[in-house]
Each structure stands twice: as C-alpha cells, then as structure tokens.
Structure 1
Amino acid sequence: MLWTCVKALERCIGRRSSDVLLWHNDLKPHASGDFSIAVVQANSNLEDQSQVFTSPSATYVGVYDGHGGPEASRFVNTNLFPFIHKFAKEQGGISAEVIKKAFNATEEKFFQFVKHQMPVRPQIASVGSCCLVGAISNGELHVANLGDSRAVLGQKVFNAGKTKVVAVRLSKDHNVSYEEVRKEVESQHPDDLHVVVHCRGVWRIKGIIQVSRSIGDLYLKKPEFHRDPRQYGYHVPLKKPVLTAEPSIISRKLKSQDMFLIFASDGLWEHLNDEAAVDIVYRYPRAGIAKRLVGAAIREATKKRELRYKDVMKIERGVRRHFHDDISVVVIYLDRKKGSKRANLGFTTAPMDIFSHDEDKVVEDPFLLKN
C-alpha cells in the first residue's frame, strides 16, 4: 500500500550559488525519473516554500507562494503532505478527492491557528499562500492549484517527420488579471458591484489582492476576521467570502510522449512564458536545470530595468523585490522505466529552515518523525 514501505528518508540540503540568495539541488532521482529544484529569495523574508517527496511508488511536488508574510506558506509546507498521506492511507491511494480533502483540512487547520494567534498577532488574518501540488502514482498525474503558481508539461509531438516539444499548461491561474477569472468572481457576488476593481494599475479583489483562491487570507473569507478598512486604503465590506480555498484539479494518465513537468511560483512566469520555459528544459542538460530557469527569469527581469545580471545578483534581500519576486522552480523528468533500480526513497524540501539565507542546516521535520 502507498507509503507503508517508506522508512529510509533523505534530507537534501540546497547548495549555495554565487548568488548568496540562491539555493539549489542540481539533480536527484525519483520514481519516474530525475528532478531538479531551485529557490531564489527576493523578499526580506522568503515567502516561497517548495518540497518534493519520493517513494518507490509515488512522487509528490509542492510549491507554495506566500503573500503578506511567510507564515501561511510555511504552514502549508509543514501540514499539507501529512494530510495527503493520511487520506491516501484511508482511501487506499492517491486521487483527486484525497488531494481536495487535504487542501480543505489544511485550510481548516490554518483557520484554527489564526484564531488562536489573533489576540496577539492580528495581522496574521491577512497572511495567505498560493498552493500548487503535483502527485504522480500508478502512471497517473494529479495537479491541484490555488492562486497563480503554475504547472506546465513538456510534451513531445511529431509533425511532418520532425520532433518538437510543446508546452501544455496543467493548472489554471486564479488571478483576476484574466477576464475569465474576473467574471467568475463577479458571478459569485452579483450584489457586490465592487468585488473586483481596477486599482494601482491592475485588477484586484476588493482593491487588495489579485488571486481569487488561496490558503489563508482569512480577513477576506470570514467576517469575524474583518479588519479596519483604513489599514488597506480601501473599503472592504464583507458579507460573504470573496476568496476560496477550493482547488482546481486536473487528472490525466501519463503518456510516453510526456517528457517533463515544470512546477513554479509566479515569480518565474512573470518573466518567462510557458513555451520559453519548456524550450530551456528541453535544450539544456538536466543537472542544474531548475537553477537555469531561475537565472533565465532574472535575466529577463534585468532587461526590463536595463540593468546587468551581475549587478542584480549583488542586491540584498528586500531591495531585490523591486526587481523580481521570490522564485521557486521544480523540474520533474518523466522518463524512468517502471521498476528501475535507481528508484529510491527520499524527501527533500526547500522551506526556510533548510534553505536558510543564513546557513544551511538540517532540522527534524515533523512529517518525517511521524513516519
């Protein structure tokens, strides 16, 4: 049964690059191939979290892009996979329903955490996180998403005797910058003419936030957490939730032409489109490919500001946020044959406590201790 044979676990500490705010693992094996992971910090506190869990029968990927602070993304990083583990054991394997239940349980547990913290940390009600999860098991892929992190598949196609790789988007961006998402939010709030407004150059829900789905952001979900609108510079009457934690989920059987997956926070997609990212992964060697994608995004960001790449690399955290966001990237290759001897057991994460901007260190992860 899924997970029962997982005993030996590997912690993988990221290596520093010449950029002191960049941490990466060039290449590691998983049940279906290899994976590469990279994280670069731009904010004063790293708000991105990412993790990969591998066993002989399954691979899980998580990318969590926090906003308003790092608390929600760290919370998801600690709690979501244990809930997936729990519900998969109860239902005999991974499924879209298992993932949906895990998202809901994580949201409810974060609600209890915020409720407990509110008397001493009222700002915790305005902390949230986008949440992107991929699960591969028994030849099937599930991708679940809240917010605007994105999963993209690199798929081989044959046309007129030639082979090329195309980008197939596997997640939906829940961001009101897209007209479709604005209409979805407006249709859910027909009595609120100002649920989505154009504010500070972009569309925002209640003039505050661009994503329509997240973990947390409870001040926009629960009336009891409603705060003084003067703190946000815009009136925020709340009769019912304007954000949701209901994930969109895509499930599909993996095909022989499916070559690799890219999971990344919107810090990458702000500067690289799907096709450009897939082309980079296809054309360059595997080792360090996630780091290469991060570098490509930063180079595009520097071009927009007419700066040199090496100059941006010297900018300290916090100040660097003016040039690019935190960026997390996980690339999953899908070409290992079933039963390969290279399949191993492992768990690697890129949370703040392991990919630390002060020092690399190993900690006891509560998920590991439970298993």
Structure 2
Amino acid sequence: MFSWLGRIASACLRPLGRYVLMNKDDNDSLGGEDDALLWCKDLEKHSHGEFSFAVVQANEFLEDQSQVETGHHATFVGVYDGHGGPEASRFICDHLFQNLIRLARESGTISEDILRNAFSETEDGFLTLVRRAYEIKPLIAAIGSCCLVGVIWEVMKQGVWRVKGIIQVSRSIGDAYLKRPEFALDPSFPRFHLHEPLCRPVLRSDPSICKRVLQPNDKFIIFASDGLWEYLTNQDAVEIVHNNPRMGVARRILISAMKQACKKRQMTYNQLKKFDKGDRRNFHDDITVVIIFIDHAMLENKGSLPELSVRGFVDTVGPSNFNFPQGIDANTKSPI
C-alpha cells in the first residue's frame, strides 16, 4: 500500500472540494431552517444494531474526518480530530482502517497488538509523506490528528480514547515537529517554533486502549470529537440519546451543543447559521458524532447485513471490506 506514494500524497494534499452536503431529516423541532454546514446520516444497519451519524463544520477546511465500516460480524468507527489542517486526519481516514483490516487478515484475528500496529503503520506512512513534502510545505510538520477508534467484533469492543487540545495532546498521528528533530520549524513559524532543541519526542503515536466485553445492559456507544464535549457533559449526551428516537439523534446532539455555544454568546441558533465556515470557528469547533446502538438480539442473528463504508460529510456510501476469510471463526478466539 505504501509503495504508492504518489497516490497517497495526492489523496492527502488535494483540496476538500469533494465534500458536499448530504441528506437532512426534518428539523422543525431542532432549530428551523437547515444548517448548510451540518451533515447527517440516519439510520443505517451495522453488525449489531443501527447507527446515527452527524458532522458540523466550523473551520474553513473541515479538520474532523470520520468513518463507519460495517461487515457481517464486525463494525469499525473512527473519529479523527485534526489540528493545524486537514491533511493528517484525511490521511488517517484513508489508511488506518485499511492497515487494520490487512493486519487482521494476515494474523487471522483482531487484538490489541493488531490495533497498535495499525496505528504505527499509519504514523509511519504519514511521516513519510511529511518527509517528502517538508521542503516545499514545512508547516506540514505541524499538522496532526487525535483519534478515537472503536471496533466491535462478535461481542468485543476496543476503544482508543481521544486526547484533547492541540499543544496539550499527549498522543497523535502527525505533529512531526514534536517527534523528530529534522522537522523542527524555524522562528518564521512562531506558533510552532521550539525555543530549545528537541532532544526526544514529546508526543506518542501509540494508542491508549480500553477493552470491554459488551454486557446485556449496554445500549449504545457515543463517539465524538472534543468540539462536542466543550458544550455537553457525558450525562447530557447520554440523556439526549436515551430520551429521543434513534432517527436523527446524532444531529440532535450536535444542535444541542451549538445551542449551548449560542447561549454563551447571547445569540440564537438561527443567527449562528448565518455565519459561513471559517467565521463559525469563532463560536464552535468542527464536531463529529457517531451513535452506535447495540441490539443484543442481533448478536445471535447470522443473517446477511449490508457491508457499508460511510464517511462523514461525504455524499457517498460504498461497500466495505470489513470481513475475514470464511476459515476464520471469531468465536474460537480468546476474548480481548
């Protein structure tokens, strides 16, 4: 995969012109007219239930990238919160899942080590891109992304928990200037200039992993970039999902957060919607929300389900390759 460097560089650095608006559900009760910077997708099936997906753009270029990949027995969710630009988060969206599924097929299983190796290969691939582009675009060394990833496989989930902020992050893919001395930026880039030489990496790319076997009382999982948690607590988000219909619930959470942002500025949501991308960043960040519902009755259902690849803010739904060869039986593997 990484031998196709020309195609990788082109995919990572090309403009975001392919982003377009997608479907809107009825939002009369959520804030009046459509928000031109808000995208949503409801309700699609995954291997163990349904999912609701929504994204709102604030920055001039959307720095949040996201994807849901569904297979017959597995579901992958990725939310990539970029900073400094969209290149790192887009690269991760294009490569992390592909690295994971290739490594999983080679080993015949999904494990913590497989997930770590997928992150490591994605980091190496992006740093190769940074190295090739650094002379003509030195600021690519200051571009990075935090990641929140979940894998549901049979009755197993792996989560890679998000780290917040931009300078304060402890783990990211990219941010080469904080990992490799050769990518140090000079004083002409004051925001990213280090006053002392970098003696050792100050950021890591290996994920922090949390594992959990799904229990009968587990009803849903909320994945979101940190722009959401600036305005809503965990409990706020859980109550919205619990107390409302599934259809449109990710969009409902986004709008609830933006209304809180409006409240702080003493303005209405309809007034906020008049601001275009770039200007919207003065009020809130890019926000991505994916709600994965767990329907336990489907854990025993071996019927055929669609294999989907859904990317946030992109008006395409294509086939996913999140499946293993028939000879591999997930039930024979040790729990993660």
TM-score range, shorter-chain basis? 0.7 to 0.9
Correspondence for 1:220 among 165, 168, 178: 178
In 2, distance between residues paired with 1:342 and 1:331? 22
1:233-277 CA-partner distances (Å, limit 9, x unpaired): 564321111111121001111000001000000010110010110
- Structure number with the higher helix fraction is 2
Q: CA deviation at 1:365?
A: 9.2
Residue of structure 2 equivalent to 1:128: 144
Letter in 1 for 2:275: I
The correspondence of residues 234-313 of structure 1 with structure 2, limited to 5 A, is 235-237=194-196, 238-313=198-273
1:321: which partner in 2?
281
Instruction: Report the alpha carbon displacement of residue 91 of structure 1 after superposing the two structures with TM.
Output: 1.6
Measured after TM superposition, the shift of residue 145 of structure 1 is: 3.2
Structure 1 pair 227–57 and aligned structure 2 pair: CA distance change class (3 A): same
Equivalent residue of 1:263, what SS?
A: strand
Aligned length: 291
> Is the 8 Å Cα contact of residues 31 and 58 (structure 1) preserved in structure 2?
yes
Q: Does 1:81 align with 2:40?
A: no
Contact between 1:78 and 1:367, CA under 8 Å: does it hold in 2?
no
Provide the secondary structure at the position in 2 that maps to 1:111. Answer: helix
Q: How far did 1:349 drift?
A: 1.1
Gaps of 5+ in 2: 1-20, 26-33, 326-336
Q: Check if 1:30 corresponds to 2:38.
A: no
Q: Distance in 1 between matches of 2:162 and 2:179?
A: 15
The aligned counterpart of 2:78 is 62
- C-alpha displacement at 1:363, in angstroms? 9.2
Moved over 4 A (4+): 362-368
Identical-residue share of aligned pairs (%): 46
1:141-193 deviations in Å (ceiling 9; x for gaps): 10013523xxxxxxxxxxxxxxxxxxxxxxxxxx6xxxxxxxxxxxxxxxxxx
Deviations 1:20-69 (A, max 9, x none): 00010021111110000000000000000110000111000000010000
> Helix, strand or coil for the counterpart of 2:159?
strand
8 Å contact from structure 1 (residues 31, 336) kept in 2: no
Separation in structure 2 between the aligned mates of residue 118 and residue 146 of structure 1, nearest angstrom: 27
Note if 1:116 corresponds to 2:74: no
Q: CA deviation at 1:344?
A: 2.5
Distance 1:363 1:291 in 2: 18
Q: What's the Cα RMSD here? A: 2.1
- Is this contact kept in 1: 2:68–2:310, CA < 8 A? yes
Q: Distance in 2 between matches of 1:342 and 1:310?
A: 43
Equivalent residue number for residue 311 of structure 2: 349
Alpha-carbon distance, 1:73 to partner: 0.3
2:185 partner letter: R
- 1:302 and 1:119 map into 2 onto residues whose CA distance is 42
Higher strand share: 1
Quote how far apart the aligned CAs of 1:342 are: 6.8
Amino acid at match of 1:227: L
3-state SS of paired residue (1:94) = coil
What SS is found at the alignment partner of 1:15?
coil
Greater mean deviation of Cα atoms: 227-236 or 217-226: 227-236
Whether the aligned pair in 1 keeps the contact of 2:309 and 2:318 (CA below 8 Å) is no
Distance 1:138 1:299 in 2: 38
2:311/2:317 contact within 8 Å kept: no
Q: Which amino acid aligns with 2:252?
A: R
Change (3 A) 1:331 1:106: same
Task: For structure 1, list consecutive stretches of 5 or more residues without a partner in the other structure.
Answer: 1-12, 149-174, 176-207, 355-359
Superposed CA deviations along residues 78-117 of structure 1, whole A, max 9, x for unmatched, are 0000001011111212111111110010000000011011
SS at match of 1:119: coil
Whole-Å Cα distance in 1 between the matches of residues 141 and 243 of structure 2?
Answer: 44
Structure 2 residue aligned with 1:211: 169
